[in-house]
């Protein structure tokens, strides 16, 4: 293999820009999850609430990304993120519906990963996820060797209008645990 040009010419070649949000979506999801947990725990700390546990599964095989526990309330949480102001229709794993108090939190983010908006799909503390079995099956994001995108068998496409807009992290915490006292230290 031969190359043409000098080292200085090669260094000055333009770098192709890529959209980090799509090329590094797993990293983005992890960062947003950490930001959410940090902000949630900080808000609870300011309200003198320190009895919250945060548990993470080794892998996402059972429909949730994170578990948060406070007193007798156990929440299995599936996070979804997007750079739009509101969520679209969201693919939700059926396994989440089998959890005693599963929920989905859609977090709207800025390009710099600032948490901008929150949307909720779930029941009250102690209640299961609203029924999702009758919703349509979403298609897989990637095609098979024939180029076809088959339906995801264990997911359902929850319509965007089923997600409740929430006004900030305090509202999310109220939905998660109920009865979070207002005010801060």
Give 24-80 pLDDT, tens digit per residue.
Answer: 567 878 899 999 999 999 999 999 999 999 999 988 778 999 999 999 999 999 999
The predicted structure's pLDDT at residue 6: 47
Residue whose C-alpha is closest to residue 88's, from 104, 106, 76: 106
pTM, entire model: 0.82
Report the top-level CATH class of 20-177.
Answer: alpha beta
Q: For tokens 């950490």, what's the residue?
A: 34
Q: Is the pLDDT of residue 23 over 60?
A: no
CA 148: distance to chain centroid?
26
Q: Is the pLDDT of residue 11 over 60?
A: no
Q: Counting beta carbons within 10 angstroms of the beta carbon of residue 180, is it exposed (0 to 12), middle (13 to 18) or buried (19 or more)?
A: middle
The predicted structure's pLDDT at residue 174: 95
Q: Predicted confidence band at 84 (pLDDT cuts at 50, 70, 90)?
A: confident
Q: Is the pLDDT of residue 18 over 50?
A: no
Which stretches does DSSP call E strand in 5-150?
52-55, 66-70, 73-82, 90-93, 103-109, 115-122
Burial 123-148 (b: 16+ CB within 10 A, else e): eebeeebeebeebeebeeeeeeeeee
Q: Predicted confidence band at 8 (pLDDT cuts at 50, 70, 90)?
A: very low
Residue 153: Cβ within 10 Å count: 8
The dihedral built from the CA positions of residue 162, 92, 23 and 81, taken in this order, carries a sign that is positive
The predicted structure's pLDDT at residue 2: 47
Rounded Cα distance, 99 and 75, in Å? 8
């Amino acid at each position: 293999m031969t190359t043409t040009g000098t080292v200085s010419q090669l260094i000055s070649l333009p770098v192709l820009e890529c959209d980090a949000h799509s090329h590094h979506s797993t990293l983005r999801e992890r960062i947003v999850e950490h930001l959410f947990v940090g902000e949630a725990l900080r808000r609870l700390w300011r309200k003198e609430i320190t009895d919250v546990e945060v548990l993470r599964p080794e892998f996402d095989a059972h429909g949730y990304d994170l578990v948060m526990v406070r007193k007798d309330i156990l929440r299995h949480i599936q996070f979804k993120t997007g750079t739009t102001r509101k969520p679209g229709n969201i693919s939700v794993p059926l396994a989440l519906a089998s959890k005693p108090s599963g929920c989905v939190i859609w977090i709207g983010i800025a390009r710099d990963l600032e948490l901008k908006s929150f949307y909720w799909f779930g029941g009250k503390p102690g209640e299961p996820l609203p029924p999702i079995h009758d919703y349509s099956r979403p298609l897989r994001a990637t095609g098979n060797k024939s180029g076809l995108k088959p339906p995801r068998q264990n997911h359902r496409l929850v319509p965007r209008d089923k997600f409740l807009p929430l006004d900030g992290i305090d509202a999310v915490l109220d939905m998660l645990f109920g009865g979070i006292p207002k005010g801060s230290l």
